[in-house]
Each structure stands twice: as structure tokens, then as C-alpha cells.
Amino acid sequence: MARQFKAAALSMVLLGAAGVAHAQERPYFVTYSEHLEDKGELEVSVLSTLGDPKDGTPRYVAPWVEIEYGIMSRWTAELYFESVNVHDDSSAYTGWRIENRVRPFPGDHFLNPVLYIEYESISEASRIQKEIVGEGRFPDDPVRLLKHEHAHELEGRVILSKEFTDWEVAGNFIAEKNLSEEEGVEFGYTAAARKKFRQFMAGVEVYGGLGATIAADEQTRHYIAPLIAWRPAKNMMIKGEVGFGLTNVSDRTLVRVGYSIEF
């Protein structure tokens, strides 16, 4: 699995010169903003989350690939494939996701809303943490067992953001329902701000869980994550962030890196 991701990343670097697209401004890993792909544009990203738990459980690496396409000027769809490798355990393909983001109103407003819905077919071994919802820590069973426990989930977000001069602020409210288990509806949030410096962007994300309708009276996970992004060309972005866990059930750190290219 790791060899396949390396090959995919190398292929995208070599294809970089072919891109002529108008790049969107989304340096975040968890937060979404108002920016969508233009109609007919394709973006491919290779990303990874490296987690260091606080409770002595093994560190892990969770790579994933995103394929994003502009169906219409105010409608973008995205397909994800993800995997995980846990130190001193094993590796596994953990599933796929498909999302749709729609900007309901044309033009620029005081806050620009985007509606988001995602279907997930993933295993309990998933660790990419594209969202943090609910409460409690991850299960610590071996990957060889968790990869057989599949979940079908539906996630919705209300996205609000605004860009002014070189600054952008964004916030997402998240609700997620596991269609495979009676877990109620889980909630989460994320907020971010960034500033542009020519080809660079710097900012911060904060994100975490907000509990569930069926509560287990456990702590929720929360992170604060400074980030930086660089555009070596108009159609490429390289980005990274380090998330610091703020509660006992959060991982100590979540280190994320990513590479994107638009065609």
C-alpha cells in the first residue's frame, strides 16, 4: 500500500507541468471554505496523517487520495480512497468516501455558505481524521480485526467562510450518522483562518468533537493546528500542519502533509 501511494505521488509531480487550471485557495486539512473547483477542473491530492497517541498505543500513518471535480460552477464532487499503517501492527485499506459541496447562492455575501454531504464506506481502522466528531478515543484493537468492522456513514456540514484582501476565515458545523450502528447523531466543529504571503499561506485550524445524541459521558477530542502552504506553481500546492491534542483522549500530535495538483 505504501508503495502504491509513493507511485501515485511521483506520477502527480511528473504531470505537474501539464496543469493549466486556476487553483483554489484551500490550505486546510479539516476545514472547508467557500472555494470550489471551476466547472470541468480536476484536482488530485495525496495526503497523510501521522498520529502519536498519548496513551501508549502505537503510532500510525494514514495516507489518502482525493480526486476532486467541478461538475458545475457551484457544485464540486470529490472521491476519497484511504488506508492505514500502525507501528508494530499491520496495514489495511480502510475504505472510500464520496462528497458533494454546493454553493447555493451566487455572488459574494457577508458570509458565503456552502452545503456539504458525504457518504462514507469505511472500516473501524480508519485514521485519516478528515473530521473529528462525537466523543471518546479510537478503539485500540489490532488493525487485522478493525479492518473487518465496516461502517456506512452519512456526514453533513454547513460551511461558512469569507475572504477579504489576503485573509480568509472559515467555520464548519458537522453532523454525522452511522447507518450501521445505533450511535445516534455525532457532532463536531472546525474553524480556521489563513493569510496569504505571495506564494505562501500561513494560518491555524481548530477542530474537535461536540458529543452525540446518545452520549457516553466521555471526553471529546480537540486539536489546534498551525499550518503552512506553498504554491510552487499556479496549479500546485504543498501543505503541512501539526495538530496538538488539547484533551486526554486526543492524540499528542497529528502531523499532516499533502500535495495537490489541478488539471
Instruction: Identify which of 192, 199, 189 has the alpha carbon closest to the alpha carbon of residue 168.
Output: 192
Q: Distance between CA atoms of 59 and 123, rounded to whole angstroms?
A: 18
Q: What is the CATH number of the domain that holds 41?
A: 2.40.160.40
Q: Distance between CA atoms of 146 and 163, rounded to whole angstroms?
A: 41
Q: Is the CB of residue 5 less than 8 Å from the CB of residue 63?
A: yes
Q: Distance between CA atoms of 47 and 62, rounded to whole angstroms?
A: 9
Q: Distance between CA atoms of 176 and 122, rounded to whole angstroms?
A: 13
Question: Whole-number mean pLDDT of the chain?
Answer: 90
Q: Please, which pLDDT band fits residue 217 given cuts at 50, 70 and 90?
A: confident
**Does the pLDDT value for residue 179 go beyond 50?**
yes
Q: Please, which pLDDT band fits residue 205 given cuts at 50, 70 and 90?
A: very high
pLDDT of residue 183: 81
- Residues 238-260 have a mean pLDDT of 97
The amino acid at 57: T
- Residues 230-250 have a mean pLDDT of 96
Our count of domains for the chain comes to 1
> Which residue range forms the structural domain that includes residue 246?
2-262
**Does the pLDDT value for residue 18 go beyond 80?**
no
Q: What's the whole-model pTM score?
A: 0.88
pLDDT of residue 40: 96
- The pLDDT tens digits of the residues spanning 106-144 come to 999 999 999 999 999 999 999 999 999 998 888 888 888
pLDDT of residue 15: 40
Q: Distance between CA atoms of 137 and 201, rounded to whole angstroms?
A: 31
- The pLDDT tens digits of the residues spanning 24-44 come to 668 999 999 999 999 999 999
